[in-house]
Amino acid sequence: MSKKALCIGINNYPGTHMDLSGCVNDANDWAAALSERGYSVTKLLDTQATKAAMVAAMNGLLASAAAGDDVVISFSGHGTYQPDSDGDEIDGLDEALCPHDIQTGGGALTDDEIRVIFANRKLGVKLLFIADSCHSGTVNRAAPSEPEADAPRPRFMPMGNWMPADQLPRTRAGNLMTQIAVQPNRVSPFVSVMLKQQGDLLLSGCKEGPNNYSYDAKIGGRFNGAFTYYALKTLKTLPANASYADWHAAICGYLPSSSYPQSPQIVGNSAARKRKVLA
């Protein structure tokens, strides 16, 4: 059995006015923690994390894994939505991760694309997907924040910051939509693909649905994702036989908080939740 990981962190989003501060630190911190636990780790940071590179790295990692192997993929960066192109979303939106080149030619990495990547691996490969990003229904352009601001910033990129205006959703009258009502109880392919594979787990910084965000934070003078910071903080103090359910409960001892109103999510079957953490 081998243990392999891919850690992606993107602060720099050219052309979007939506740069972040803590995502590269997140990726480096996840890589260090996983290396200590015996994982062979590959990283994609900022300019390395184009859409093509992310797809190639995910495909390569999963293709090299055999039955019984443990694979971890962590992503820290912006999440977004885009109009659904194949009719499989009840709210007309595909959930997506934002690569470095989302606005400069690469586009978003959608849940449909990720579902195909994950589904193509060999049977018996156990996958943990850690997502420190967020998704919401707004298409308003967000104002840029001060680079040294202590206030938390949502890791969500509105469609208006990266999609051409002629591709943005519009009302029947042809006016640009400023808000999209995301179905509160929808189950995205991000979740459904994890449920369909034995042993799969998703740990994410916030719940799905409108007004749920993961935050870029400055804690102790250093930028991180709030979820990543507390996930790694609690990882260090977990008992040797702790399960993923135990880890999630420990993280929820810190989040949500008054500073970071996000509720971390764990998705997976009962057997997966009871599995020993990063064993």
134 is catalytic: yes
Please pick, among 7, 23, 98, 134, the residue that the annotation labels catalytic: 134
Two tokens at 37? 């636990």
Please pick, among 23, 78, 100, 206, the residue that the annotation labels catalytic: 78
CA dist 140 and 137 (Å) reads: 9
Contact by Cβ (8 Å): 102, 13: yes
The contacts of residue 50 (CB under 8 Å, 6+ apart) are 99, 100, 101, 106
206 is catalytic: no
Active site residues: 78, 134
